[in-house]
Structure formats: structure tokens, C-alpha cells
Amino acid sequence: MKVLKKAALLIAAAGITFAVIVISIIVYQYTAMAPDLPNEEDCELQQLVQTDDNAAEIHHYQCQRGAQKQWQGHELWLLEPANNKWQRMMTTQSPSCISLVMESQRLRVIHDGDRLEMNLAEPVFLYHTPAGKSESVAVAIDKQATANCES
């Protein structure tokens, strides 16, 4: 009987642990993984580059977010204008200077900050052309002490 009680307690503990993990993942997906889109109140557009096929745009914003605007940093977003689909590419608080260079299907993010503080969501982003063809943009992060942010 004691063995049966111990087994039941062990199974109950495992079930509770599993439920807590699943709930945590769901809460994370609805909060941290899907931040608000940039808006004029919180963010200022710094740079806009287009893919070679003009089917996607990469927007670089300088943002201040939070209740008292306590978070300040850079955000990169990929936009598919044909269907108004946004994908968050990267966020960072570190560098004072970020510039974007589009080279074929490769986006170079040139910065003067700490690479470890660059929060890249994915190394490659997929988008669709207006004709329905799937394309991709690979992201390369390059640190340059003399990054040019005047352009």
C-alpha cells in the first residue's frame, strides 16, 4: 500500500511539473515572443531597406518601451507589404550605432556595440513574394568600431 501511495505521489508531482512547464511556455509565447509592433509613440524609424525583389522591407527602429519608457534600444522588423505580415528580427540595447546593408538575400547588421547583447530571433527569415514564391533573408551581424550611422 505504501508503494502505491508513493507511486501516486510521484505521478501527481510529475503531472503538476509538466502542467507548470506547459503553462509557462504558453505565457512566454503570448508575452515575450510577440511584442507590440513599432508605433509612432514609442519608436522612430532610423533606416528602411528592401530586398532585391522588393517583396520585403527591413525596418530599423530606435524605440523606448515600457510603462515609463525604461527600455531603450534598437529593433529590426521584416515587413511583407503585400499581406502586412511583420516578423521581429532583432532587438538590442547595446550599440549607439546600427546600420543595415542588403547584399542579395543577406542582411548585414553593422554595429559598434556588444555582439552578445544582440538578440537575434532567427538567423534566416522567410517571406513570400506577391506571386507566392517563398524567399529568405539571412542575417549577418558585423561589429565595426567605425560603423557609419549617418546614412
Alpha-carbon gap, residue 145 to 92, rounded angstroms: 17
pLDDT in single tens digits along all 151 residues of the chain:
788 899 999 999 999 999 999 998 888 776 665 667 888 888 999 999 999 999 999 999 999 887 777 788 899 999 999 899 999 999 888 767 889 999 989 999 998 877 778 889 899 999 999 888 999 999 999 887 665 665 4
Burial of 27 (0-12, 13-18, 19+ CB in 10 A): exposed
Report pLDDT for 32: 60
For the whole prediction, is pTM greater than 0.95? no
Alpha-carbon gap, residue 4 to 20, rounded angstroms: 24
Report pLDDT for 151: 46
